[in-house]
Amino acid sequence: MEDLLEQKRYFLKDYIRLETDFSNTDQNRGIAPPPVEKPLAAGSKKIMLPTLQELTNISQCSLISAITNRKSHRKYKPEPIDKQELAFLLWSTQGVRKNLKNVVLRTVPSAGNRHSFETYLYINNVKDLEEGIYRYLPVEHALAFEFTETSLREKISIAAMGQFFVGTAPVVFIWTTIPYRMEWRYSIAAHKVIAIDAGHVCQNLYLACEAIGAGTCAIAAYNQEMMDKFIRVDGKDEFVIYLASVGKV
């Protein structure tokens, strides 16, 4: 057991940097970088979100009060989230703050600015949006409607290992990673920083929720295969890494 713990702790240390041949990464071999955002599937419906200019009055909450009051919420009011609020939460967690020619800078930091995440949403109760699975398109600041099917609420609760509050949330953020985006630059040293990146994203969600009278709960306990299937990702080149339920509190 001690050996196993030692082995697992190793992942948290930075020895991997010494073991990585950075001269041989795909970036340094001249391979073109992967797209910053997963392309919209052909025929997929795109829904534009309220712009940042339309969101400037969304909250009067001070940063100090958002930080002071932040806590995990697992009980939500039955009222819906509206599109402005949803747009604000998406922008806060993965939004683009500067789109330079070949570089997209976001509202959260990321190792090497590689941003390996995609944000899927299980929308259960958002004004003017039907129940279903959606994906955020940060560059366009829009939503892609992915699909809908029966019993999504029950399926997500079961995939979250029977944490039934997840199925009661008006919205669930489901973050996947496309690890190659990070591996392209860091090769075998990519994986610890992907996990660190995820923390920043969810912390911004906590604070942004506080700012608009909503609440969230981070969720890292889920059945990997079921959650990947739930949003229809392959589980190999893209898989779920973290979730967070959101609702008014």
Ligand X SMILES: Cc1cc2nc3c(=O)[nH]c(=O)nc-3n(C[C@H](O)[C@H](O)[C@H](O)COP(=O)(O)O)c2cc1C
Q: Which residues bind ligand X (CB under 6 A)?
A: 71-72, 74, 163, 217-221
Give 90 or 166: the residue with its C-beta nearer to ligand X: 166
State the minimum distance, in angstroms, from the CB of residue 217 to ligand X: 5
Closest C-alpha to 120, from 92, 144, 85, 153: 144
State the minimum distance, in angstroms, from the CB of residue 182 to ligand X: 19
State the minimum distance, in angstroms, from the CB of residue 131 to ligand X: 23
Running DSSP on this structure, what letter comes out for residue 72?
Answer: B
Give 144 or 169: the residue with its C-beta nearer to ligand X: 169
Give 92 or 187: the residue with its C-beta nearer to ligand X: 92
- Distance separating alpha carbons of residues 126 and 187, to the nearest angstrom: 39
Q: Quick one: which H or E segment has residue 86?
A: helix 83-94
Give 105 or 218: the residue with its C-beta nearer to ligand X: 218
Helix, strand, or coil (residue 91): helix
State the minimum distance, in angstroms, from the CB of residue 35 to ligand X: 28
- Distance separating alpha carbons of residues 206 and 92, to the nearest angstrom: 10
181 within 8 A of 115, measured Cβ to Cβ: yes
State the minimum distance, in angstroms, from the CB of residue 147 to ligand X: 25
Q: Which long-range contacts (CB under 8 A, 24 or more apart) does 10-15 make?
A: 11/191, 11/192, 12/192, 14/192
